[in-house]
């Protein structure tokens, strides 16, 4: 069992001020796999003050110094790559292949991209009679979730350090193992003391302290919309900048043209990736009403190919959801779908056949749904797909936009002109066409209650920068 009971503050591993242990549960076995400490406002205060002291010199560091720091981080990350992938699989149930090829890969991907961008990024320019300077905003509080743990940590930490900020990171207490290993990477890379700090804890104990601390200048939060509003409220008295990447209920519009069956198969596979635990998952599949029967048949066939089981077993394509809390929430929502009259195509309540332990959910597909149903309105964050009919493209767009969220949307179709016209009318931050998603250069973020600000690539630098205009020189 892993014992990760210290925090990383001011370049050292330190004990919590008030010891308070938390067991970390392996969701595949329901057994305790690690022990961490839950921090407090006092621990956050130490970290924030260390970050403030470090900011005095880090904010004045040269671009070359930061390039060398990111190079060292990339090298240290690569040295620890397999351990990070293994930790991700253990803490949140990702199948080994997914943990290695996607989950852990995003971490090194964001640091490498930040390094590439930094090499040519212009921090100064001229507009009119003024010199415009982009400066680091200051001490940044980073609060990250459990579903893509390293991805969300790296896409915040990398740009913050690249532009000269210092950070206080709170990984999710549900899946904290990879955050601990990322801190070891920072130590191994020789990141200067106080530049990177990590305090484990829960939302009330550490998240609230970060978002309200007077020495923290901005907060970057990824998580639920409910928690995001609390972060913003806590940050308001100190007028912090708050960047938020929140929930989603993304539509996947399938057009009535060639490749329809392949599009259904692709949409089902995407929905069940990471056990449906992605904020941009294509959870609402919109199909022409006349094609509903075909969609049902193909979706059922595609769902049957999903292999649910031990994340470490060869051939497993879908592991458990992350916790008992999530499992119970998803079961209740599946039952709500049944109770509200949706057509249960496959799956349903209870664990998959032959599995009696672990937080495993059946790959579930509902059809003949509509936007007033609970399973269509709420973010389920599990392997549950809903299929909705539409009569016209105009209706499809209306249905797609009829949600408080606006993180992502998907369109499947061969007519480029039609697809382009639909894409321009969707109120979402990321639009993917025919299964083609963005890369590490693509800005990631949402409209409406899916948040504000953008992460990834050059756009990811923006939230960590202040703009200064100097006139008269």
pLDDT at 446 over 90: yes
Residues 269 and 193 both lie in one domain: no
Residues 13 and 111 both lie in one domain: yes
Residues 207 and 341 both lie in one domain: no
3-state helix/strand/coil string of 288-315: EHHHHHHHHHHHHHHHHCCCECCCCCCC
Kindly report, residue by residue over 386-401, the tens digit of the pLDDT: 999 999 999 999 999 9
From the list 358, 353, 365, 375, the residue with the least C-alpha distance to 307 is 353
Residues 424 and 465 both lie in one domain: no
Residues 35 and 159 both lie in one domain: yes
Mean pLDDT to the nearest integer, 160-184 = 98
Residues 235 and 279 both lie in one domain: no
Q: How far is CA 356 from CA 30, 132, 315, 383, in A?
A: 11, 62, 19, 18
Residues 213 and 266 both lie in one domain: no
Tokens 């191994």 belong to which residue? 188
Q: What is the pLDDT of residue 212?
A: 98
pLDDT at 473 over 90: no
pLDDT at 262 over 90: yes
CATH number of the domain bearing residue 112: 3.40.605.10
Residues 41 and 87 both lie in one domain: yes
Mean pLDDT to the nearest integer, 26-31 = 98
Residues 58 and 136 both lie in one domain: yes
267 within 8 A of 282, measured Cβ to Cβ: yes
Rounded-to-integer distance, Cα 146 and Cα 326, Å: 12
Q: Domain tally for the chain?
A: 2
Residues 87 and 22 both lie in one domain: yes
Between helix 260-272 and helix 292-304 the angle, nearest 10°, is 50
Kindly report, residue by residue over 296-328, the tens digit of the pLDDT: 999 999 999 999 999 999 999 999 999 999 999
Comparing 258 with 85, the larger pLDDT belongs to 85
Residues 354 and 406 both lie in one domain: yes
Tokens 């539409």 belong to which residue? 390
Kindly report, residue by residue over 401-443, the tens digit of the pLDDT: 999 999 999 999 999 999 999 999 999 999 999 999 999 999 9
Tell me the average pLDDT of the chain.
Answer: 97
CATH number of the domain bearing residue 355: 3.40.309.10
Residues 19 and 100 both lie in one domain: yes
Q: Which of 74, 165, 279, 455 is catalytic?
A: 279
Q: Which neighbouring-strand residues pair with 386?
A: 284, 366
Rounded-to-integer distance, Cα 245 and Cα 222, Å: 5
245 is annotated as an active-site residue: yes
279 is annotated as an active-site residue: yes
Q: What is the pLDDT of residue 258?
A: 86
Kindly report, residue by residue over 62-106, the tens digit of the pLDDT: 999 999 999 999 999 999 999 999 999 999 999 999 999 999 999
Q: Which of 90, 245, 379, 455 is catalytic?
A: 245
Q: What is the pLDDT of residue 155?
A: 98
pLDDT at 6 over 90: yes
Which residue range is the domain that position 29 belongs to?
A: 2-246+450-471
């Amino acid at each position: 069992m892993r014992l990760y009971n210290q925090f990383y503050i001011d370049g050292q591993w330190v004990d919590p001020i008030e010891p308070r242990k938390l067991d970390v549960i392996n969701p595949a076995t329901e057994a305790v796999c690690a022990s961490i400490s839950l921090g407090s406002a006092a621990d956050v205060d130490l970290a924030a003050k260390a970050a403030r002291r470090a900011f005095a010199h880090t904010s004045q560091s040269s671009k070359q110094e930061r390039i060398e720091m990111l190079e060292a981080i990339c090298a240290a990350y690569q040295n620890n790559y397999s351990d990070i992938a293994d930790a991700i699989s253990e803490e949140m149930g990702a199948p080994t292949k997914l943990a290695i090829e996607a989950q852990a890969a995003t971490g090194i991907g964001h640091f490498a991209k930040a390094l590439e961008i930094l090499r040519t990024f212009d921090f100064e320019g001229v507009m009119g009679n003024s010199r415009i300077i982009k400066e680091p905003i200051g001490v940044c509080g980073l609060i990250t979730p459990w579903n893509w743990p390293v991805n969300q940590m790296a896409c915040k930490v990398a740009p913050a350090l690249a532009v000269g900020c210092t950070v206080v990171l709170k990984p999710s207490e549900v899946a904290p193992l990879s955050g601990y290993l990322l801190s070891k990477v920072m130590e191994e890379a020789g990141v200067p003391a106080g530049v990177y700090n990590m305090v484990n804890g829960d939302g009330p104990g550490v998240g609230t302290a970060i978002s309200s601390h007077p020495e923290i200048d901005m907060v970057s939060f990824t998580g639920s919309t409910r928690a995001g509003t609390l972060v913003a409220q806590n940050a308001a008295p100190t007028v912090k900048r708050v960047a938020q990447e929140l929930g989603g209920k993304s539509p996947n519009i399938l057009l009535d043209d060639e490749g329809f069956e392949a599009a259904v198969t692709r949409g089902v596979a995407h929905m069940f990736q990471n056990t449906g635990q992605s904020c941009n998952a294509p959870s609402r599949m919109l199909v022409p009403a006349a094609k509903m029967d075909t969609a049902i048949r193909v979706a059922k066939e595609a769902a049957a190919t999903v292999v649910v089981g031990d994340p470490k077993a060869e051939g497993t394509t879908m592991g458990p959801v992350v916790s008992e809390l999530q499992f119970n929430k998803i079961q209740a929502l599946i039952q709500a779908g049944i109770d509200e009259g949706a057509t249960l195509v496959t799956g349903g309540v209870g664990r998959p056949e032959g599995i009696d332990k672990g937080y495993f959910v059946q790959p579930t597909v509902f059809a003949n749904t509509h936007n007033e149903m609970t399973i269509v309105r709420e973010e389920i964050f599990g392997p549950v797909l809903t299929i909705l009919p539409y009569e016209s493209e105009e209706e499809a767009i209306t249905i797609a936009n009829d949600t408080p969220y606006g993180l992502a949307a998907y369109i499947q179709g061969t007519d480029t002109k039609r697809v382009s016209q639909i894409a321009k009318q969707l109120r979402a931050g990321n639009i993917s066409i025919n299964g083609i998603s963005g890369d590490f250069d693509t800005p990631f973020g949402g409209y409406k209650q899916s948040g504000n600000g953008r992460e990834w690539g050059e756009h990811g630098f923006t939230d960590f920068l202040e703009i200064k205009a100097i006139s008269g020189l």
